[in-house]
Amino acid sequence: MTRHFNFCAGPAALPQPVLERARDELLDYQGRGLSVMEMSHRSAEFVAIAEQAERDLRELLAIPDNYRVLFTQGGATLQFASVPFNLLGRGGSANFVHTGIWGKKAIAEARHLFGAAPVVASSEANGHSAVPRQADIALTDDAAYLHYTANETIGGIEFDYVPQAVRPDGTEVPLVCDMSSSILSGPLDVSRFGVIYAGAQKNIGPAGLTLVIVRDDLLDQACAEMPSLMGYKAQAEAGSMVNTPATYGWYLAGLVFQWLKHDIGGLVAMDALNARKAEKLYAAIDGSDFYSNPIARANRSRMNVPFVLADDRLDKAFLAESEHAGLLNLKGHRSVGGMRASLYNAVPEAAVDALIDFMADFERRNG
């Protein structure tokens, strides 16, 4: 069997040690005579898996005791509706910073449900090539919270700071962040946020699981008409088991957390490795007239690196030859074209080295 290098933006690469352990436990989990995916979510065996996963995540992110950790379903996209349903029960509006396609989708959903969703800062004017400055973020007087997307997977633009969420009168409101493609890529001060949410399929585990981290004081601000399954309070009180959860995804996420702790050495070490991978690839792009990246250096994503060829007539050849070389899923999103290399936690440094070597060789042959 040959494992190729997978640069997919999601569902993304999983750590090989995690896959190997899951393989070994697939038919018989720790001598129980059944697979994790066959277990009752109420069984002592699975409850132990779930509790260990939460403990490991809390340790990795140093999550304060006054935050609940929810393992939900529906992807980050369902949170575009869940967040306003859970936080606008006392009135006010959801304020947004718009820096790309996923932020735009979150804005559209909030407007669909609540009518108004003011965009209080945007990078549209610069083509989403640089995030707005803190000074450009002007919340409305009735802001109930401020939402932003830490890293735009498609555009490859990442915030280099954590915004402050303060109304004109000086009142601080909760900061809500979609961290689907950047969570666990390095240390994080959870206490600066009211809600953090992330689809699992990039840095956490397989598709189908969604992580929500929510501060306790926000559990009683939901709209009465909210679908009950979306309620953060209900999920917190039920241990994320209001209904049958995504048990196998939860188990695999737990294995990823253990890999981060024991194989990688924690998020400080993961941060250093991710920085090195991204710096190598951007240096290769910047050192060439054949490839280019449009994002301001301060806001270049470490997780998703888009780049274009000087002659887009070579795109098909680049993709075909890279796949033949074992470099998979480098095609850019259909909305922007070009190429995109996603460098999530599970993508090894050797994959980046192999991509850089291929890019240099392709340029020599076609430049």
Name the token pair of 35.
């697979």
Those residues whose C-beta lies under 8 Å from the C-beta of residue 177, and which sit 6 or more positions away, are 147, 148, 149, 150, 193, 195, 196, 197
Which residue among the candidates 104, 202, 277, 331 is catalytic per the annotation?
202
Would you call 311 a catalytic residue per the annotation? no
Would you call 102 a catalytic residue per the annotation? yes
How do 195-199 and 210-215 pair as beta strands?
antiparallel
- Of 236, 180, 187, 181, nearest to 211 by C-alpha is 180
Name the token pair of 298.
């301060």
For Cα atoms 344, 346, 348, give the angle at the middle one, nearest 5 degrees.
95
Per-residue DSSP letter, 298 = G
Collapsed DSSP state (helix, strand, coil) of residue 130: coil
The number of residues in the chain equals 367
CA distance 286 to 309: 12
Which residue among the candidates 24, 28, 65, 102 is catalytic per the annotation?
102
**Torsions phi, psi of 173, nearest 5?**
-120, 165
For 67, the enclosing helix (H) or strand (E) is strand 67-72
Within 13 Å of residue 79, how many CA atoms lie on the same side as its CB? Answer: 29
Runs of H (alpha helix) within 164-266: 232-237, 247-258
CA distance 63 to 366: 50
**Torsions phi, psi of 14, nearest 5?**
-110, 150
CA distance 334 to 332: 6
Collapsed DSSP state (helix, strand, coil) of residue 11: coil
CA distance 90 to 291: 50
Which residue among the candidates 178, 259, 277, 331 is catalytic per the annotation?
178
Place of tokens 């306790």: 216
Would you call 259 a catalytic residue per the annotation? no
Catalytic sites, residue numbers:
102, 178, 202
